[in-house]
Structure 1
């Protein structure tokens, strides 16, 4: 009877060998090497691919948003530029309107007499002096000052002035019209019988702030007036310049 020989069962070496076990529930691959377990999940690669895909989508969205922001910035710059142009045009239009108002709507004029109810005499005097016409008939724009006798131009324009002087028979009479203190035109009558009158008119170009007034002669002259208001001073704006 033959004797059975039993060989030792082959045992795989633990070092450097790969043992694979498959679990139907997790489908994981276990690798054991030198007593250290490392788990590799089959779906890891899919998750990685999915993460890369999501990142690419986000990068695309970010690029689109950045482009949209750049576009909006450009539009905002254009609108700002247009707004600045509109503001400049509006400022120019307002200036034109104001100039037009000054040209069309500016109404300046005055008229006054030397006397009112009582007798008024100015001179004779050895010094020139401003003649103050205190009895004001009309003063639209308030450019004439009845306290100083001085007219001040409120705007640049062409102004017409008319004045009349009268003296008694014992004195010469007359005055001159001054613009900013400089003589322009004048009246003069020698003494004689009765009451002698003289009238003068002139158109002057004035800038805003220029002054006009009547001044007596520094000699044996005298101006006279009473309730009949012979001596008068008037002026008004013809048109703007």
Structure 2
């Protein structure tokens, strides 16, 4: 009887120990599973961040490729502009240098007929295209030229002015009536296309007069070549 009781107690103790061991084991497994799950989630997060980083790197690589293509295109354009600039410099170097400014030495007019104005005072005559004896500018090359003049008269109640001619054609006439006992000034300019050998010159209308004194160069005729054609 005593032995049976002892065996029963021993059996109960072993049963309790086994139950406790099983509970402890289940608790450890649950903890391990939670830790493993957390690790898996962290790995997924890291994988997601890595994928995003890879996409950023790919986008940056594409941007670098685009920038390189733009840089290559810019280099080509700069090379083209540089070649154009060299060509323009060569043309300018080869183009004749033509420019003049001439002035009157004293009063001119009045006369009962229109007369050619001869400006004998040379201020500039690059290319020697202006003739101080005839008053004619002769185009040394075909091209586009700019001409300008200014004139002055000091007579009260009189007309003053001048006309610009191309060959035998009057292309411009400016005149004014001096209402005051003072100096009356006038200026104008224009662009003309001339063939080689064409002439440009100034003429004074009949009964007009221009006043010049003191070396002040009130009356000036100027021109220069803009570009050859």
Q: Return the TM-score normalized by structure 1.
A: 0.54
Pair 1:210 & 2:203 matched:
no
Pair 1:236 & 2:211 matched:
no
Query: RMSD of the alignment, in Å?
Result: 1.8
Work out the CA distance in 1 between the residues paired with 2:110 and 2:190: 26
Q: Say which structure is richer in strand.
A: 1
**Alpha-carbon contact 1:174-1:187 (below 8 Å) kept:** yes
Shift of 1:126: 1.1
**Alpha-carbon contact 2:102-2:122 (below 8 Å) kept:** yes
Long gaps (5+) in structure 1:
1-99
Q: Deviations over 1:81-113 (max 9, x none)?
A: xxxxxxxxxxxxxxxxxxx76884311010011
- Which of 119, 122, 125 is the aligned partner of 1:136? 122
* 1:70 corresponding residue in structure 2: none
Work out the CA distance in 2 between the residues paired with 1:180 and 1:238: 19
**Alpha-carbon contact 1:165-1:187 (below 8 Å) kept:** no
Pair 1:149 & 2:139 matched:
no
The aligned runs of 1:128-207 (5 Å cut-off) are 128-170=114-156, 171-192=158-179, 193-207=181-195
Shift of 1:222: 0.6
Work out the CA distance in 1 between the residues paired with 2:93 and 2:176: 39
* 2:212 corresponding residue in structure 1: 225
Shift of 1:186: 2.0
Q: Return the TM-score normalized by structure 2.
A: 0.57
* 1:111 corresponding residue in structure 2: 101
2:140 is paired with a residue whose SS is coil
Query: Alpha carbons of 1:191 and 1:161: their partners in 2 closer, same or farther (altered >3 Å)?
Result: same
Q: How many residues align?
A: 138
Q: Deviations over 1:93-150 (max 9, x none)?
A: xxxxxxx7688431101001112xxxx2211111111101111011011000011111
2:208 is paired with a residue whose SS is coil
Larger radius of gyration: 1
**Alpha-carbon contact 1:166-1:195 (below 8 Å) kept:** yes
* 1:43 corresponding residue in structure 2: none
Work out the CA distance in 1 between the residues paired with 2:216 and 2:205: 23
Q: Say which structure is richer in helix.
A: 2
